[in-house]
Amino acid sequence: MKVKDVAREAGVAVGTVSRVLNDHPAVTRELRERVEKAMAHLGYEVDVTAQSMRAGRSRLVACAIRDFDIPRFALFIKEAEAVLREAGYTLLLASTTNRPDVEIALLRAFRRRRVDGVMMTLSDEQHLDVREALSEALMPVLLIDRDRIEALDRVTADHREGARLATSHLLDLGHRRIAMLVGDLNAFPSRSRLEGFRAAHAAAGIAPDPRLLRDDVLSSEDAYRATASLMSLAERPTALFVAAMDMLGGCLRALRTMGVAVGDGISVVAGSDSDLAELHTPPITAIAWDLAAMGRHAATMLLERMRGDEIERGRGLTVPTQLIIRGSSRPFAS
Amino acid sequence: MKVKDVAREAGVAVGTVSRVLNDHPAVTRELRERVEKAMAHLGYEVDVTAQSMRAGRSRLVACAIRDFDIPRFALFIKEAEAVLREAGYTLLLASTTNRPDVEIALLRAFRRRRVDGVMMTLSDEQHLDVREALSEALMPVLLIDRDRIEALDRVTADHREGARLATSHLLDLGHRRIAMLVGDLNAFPSRSRLEGFRAAHAAAGIAPDPRLLRDDVLSSEDAYRATASLMSLAERPTALFVAAMDMLGGCLRALRTMGVAVGDGISVVAGSDSDLAELHTPPITAIAWDLAAMGRHAATMLLERMRGDEIERGRGLTVPTQLIIRGSSRPFAS
């Protein structure tokens, strides 16, 4: 079955069939319907690979994130996928394992596959080779929770404000030795959280103890070790802000092993909400934001950019964060 | 830059370059290296789309599952992706939303995209249109936790044994009114769990009360409602087996709302392990199995099938389940 046969059946030129297959905007609705009817009649199935060869596009959108095992992030992917599917795109998902060389290899692979658009996180936005790969990407790239590459669109959460609220809450309760666990300070979320933590301290006229900050907490095991080491200090913290996403489990496991009671022994605030935070005894105070909305916005903004709408470069959209106060954060009792 | 130029640079025939590009097995290592060197020298970048047109393959493997927001399932995807990437494949991820029409549409889309292999769940293995779409798929399909299509390879967990262990444990503790929450009984996991539940009762010579079975529990909200309705019965259950995956949160939320204490008021066993189960007070007895191993096996078996190795059709691999006994399951006190 060939394009020629479809053209004959529809009574149009071969070029018209091609234009219909490539979604050319100049095709009238009447012509499109006539060609589609002929295709249906002949049982002509569009070969997407052949078609994307001609049109230079694949109807694929790639999403590359550090890791798939961040449960909360599934909400982002689910919503983004729904928006993209509605628009006729299939989502390609890949893990960067938070390594620049993998990010670069993926960008090249996406380009070779003629992916129409990419949404991704970056391990280090300042990395020169990653920057170069991005500039050679030849397709729209939207950054997820990253903010340093001004030419690219981005969707972020207001982690700075979330961390500021959490820290102020603990300071208001009388805590002065607040420990903080964060992830990679090269990346926007952890950097913003640290800014918020410091801003709250500055507003209260209090200098945080640098020995109570643990960064590069990227796994449940990291959180376990960081919590255990903090609780082994001669001068223990009285509150623990587990600001990295999804690290609460490791922290609670360490506190349990060391026999420290959440609430009475130490106040705890989680950097992201979860069933665990909500249903723990006592329930854990947590920062929340709408990851589903982030996914929706990311997909919508990327689609606009892919259509080549006349919009300024480097648009940023930020979803708000809020603090859900529960029983794990209590007044400091000296 | 054309294949012709590469052939000239390498001093080989154009057909040899083609064979190298298509990973033809008959190419000697020496020839492959000579061609690759010439390609590198000329800065020839392989156009995967053009290449897959010629070779009829895309170096894509698709994974289609019900939903992305099953946190535990991320372990499966992560391991499968690692194995596939190692073998030079990119993972395409799609959500079926557990609907046969979406499953059929996805199978067609994968075929059009010349996907090399598919691993997927199915909402209903008996669905005739889905069966037809599978038989027309023209690419290897491996089933994830499904067992009824004998011609297809499959990787399953031994849910029957897990449920049997959990139910026997509760019966041994003296419980006679054990409620069970399961998902879709058309699908292998829930069907197997119900079999295990019944087998344990039969072995103890006890007939389960059919009013204590709630199926089609597919979301946290479903689990909340099912638990609330069970606890509103005149003759309440004394134990709750939340056999559906990742439904523990909804169940615990309902018990808390109704003021029923886990352990003292009702014994609880979770169908899958989680941070929530482990760190709850009291910790929740749970069934565990190795989802990472399932992902690894699935990818490895699919790659073998894609290579066309001489292996029998419809191989099945089952990973074992175990019961982790914790404080939420206690002797029945009449």
Q: How many CB pairs under 8 A join A and B?
A: 113
Q: Which residue of A has its CA nearest to B88?
A: A109
Q: How far is CA A295 from CA A26, A108, A218, B77, B105, in A?
A: 32, 24, 22, 20, 23
A299 and A96 in contact (C-beta within 8 Å)? no
ipTM exceeding cut-off 0.85 for this assembly: no
DSSP A177: -
Contact B276 A281 (CB under 8 A): no
- pLDDT greater than 70 at residue B132: yes
Q: Is B265 exposed, middle or buried (0-12, 13-18, 19+ CB in 10 A)?
A: middle
Q: What is the per-residue pLDDT for A53?
A: 46
Q: Which residue of B has its CA nearest to A115?
A: B49
Q: What is the per-residue pLDDT for B53?
A: 46
Contact B275 A49 (CB under 8 A): no
Q: How far is B204 from chain A (nearest CA, A)?
A: 34
A186 and A145 in contact (C-beta within 8 Å)? no
Contact B47 A256 (CB under 8 A): no
For chain B, say whether A43 makes contact (Cβ under 8 Å): no
For chain B, say whether A276 makes contact (Cβ under 8 Å): yes
Distance CA A258, CA A248 (A): 15
**Percent of chain B scored above 90 by pLDDT?**
63
For chain B, say whether A201 makes contact (Cβ under 8 Å): no
A239 and A268 in contact (C-beta within 8 Å)? yes
Residue of B53, B70, B279 lying closest to A276 (CB–CB): B279
Would you place residue B310 in the very low, low, confident or very high pLDDT band (cuts 50, 70, 90)? confident
Please report the sign of the dihedral spanned by the C-alpha atoms of residue B102, residue B103, residue B108, residue B113: positive
For chain B, say whether A71 makes contact (Cβ under 8 Å): yes
* Domains, chain A: 3-55 (1.10.260.40), 60-157+291-320 (3.40.50.2300), 159-289 (3.40.50.2300)
The SS3 assignment for B88 reads: coil
Give A-chain residues touching B249 at CB under 8 angstroms: 275, 278-279
- pLDDT greater than 50 at residue B113: yes
**Which residue from B141, B66, B145 is spatially nearest to B99, judged by alpha carbons?**
B66
Q: What is the CA radius of gyration of chain A?
A: 25
Distance CA B113, CA B223 (A): 38
Q: Which residue of A has its CA nearest to B67?
A: A78
Would you place residue B286 in the very low, low, confident or very high pLDDT band (cuts 50, 70, 90)? very high
Distance CA B76, CA A186 (A): 29
Contact B275 A248 (CB under 8 A): yes
Bond preceding residue A283 cis, omega within 30 of 0:
no
Question: Which tens digit of pLDDT belongs to each residue from B149-193?
Answer: 989 999 999 999 999 999 999 999 999 999 999 999 989 999 999
Distance CA A67, CA A122 (A): 12
Contact B49 A114 (CB under 8 A): yes
Q: What is the per-residue pLDDT for A31?
A: 80
B84 and B299 in contact (C-beta within 8 Å)? yes
Q: Identify the residue with better confidence: B12 or A145.
A: A145
Q: How far is A260 from chain B (nearest CA, A)?
A: 14
Q: Identify the residue with better confidence: B45 or A19.
A: A19
Q: What is the per-residue pLDDT for A120?
A: 96
Low-confidence ranges of chain A (pLDDT < 50): 48-49, 52-54
The mean pLDDT value of chain B amounts to: 89
- pLDDT greater than 80 at residue B51: no
Contact A74 B77 (CB under 8 A): no
- pLDDT greater than 60 at residue B308: yes
Contact B49 A48 (CB under 8 A): no
A41 and A5 in contact (C-beta within 8 Å)? no
**Which residue from B16, B48, B326 is spatially nearest to B173, judged by alpha carbons?**
B326
Q: Identify the residue with better confidence: A83 or B33.
A: A83
Distance CA A325, CA B258 (A): 22
Q: Which residue of B has its CA nearest to A82?
A: B95
Residue of B77, B95, B276 lying closest to A279 (CB–CB): B276
Give A-chain residues touching B60 at CB under 8 angstroms: 92
Give A-chain residues touching B274 at CB under 8 angstroms: 275-276
Would you place residue B114 in the very low, low, confident or very high pLDDT band (cuts 50, 70, 90)? confident
- pLDDT greater than 70 at residue B46: no
Mark which residues 74-133 of A lie under 8 Å from B by CB.
74-75, 77-78, 81, 90-95, 109, 112-114
Would you place residue B35 in the very low, low, confident or very high pLDDT band (cuts 50, 70, 90)? confident
Contact A67 B78 (CB under 8 A): yes
A96 and A123 in contact (C-beta within 8 Å)? yes
Distance CA A191, CA A212 (A): 16
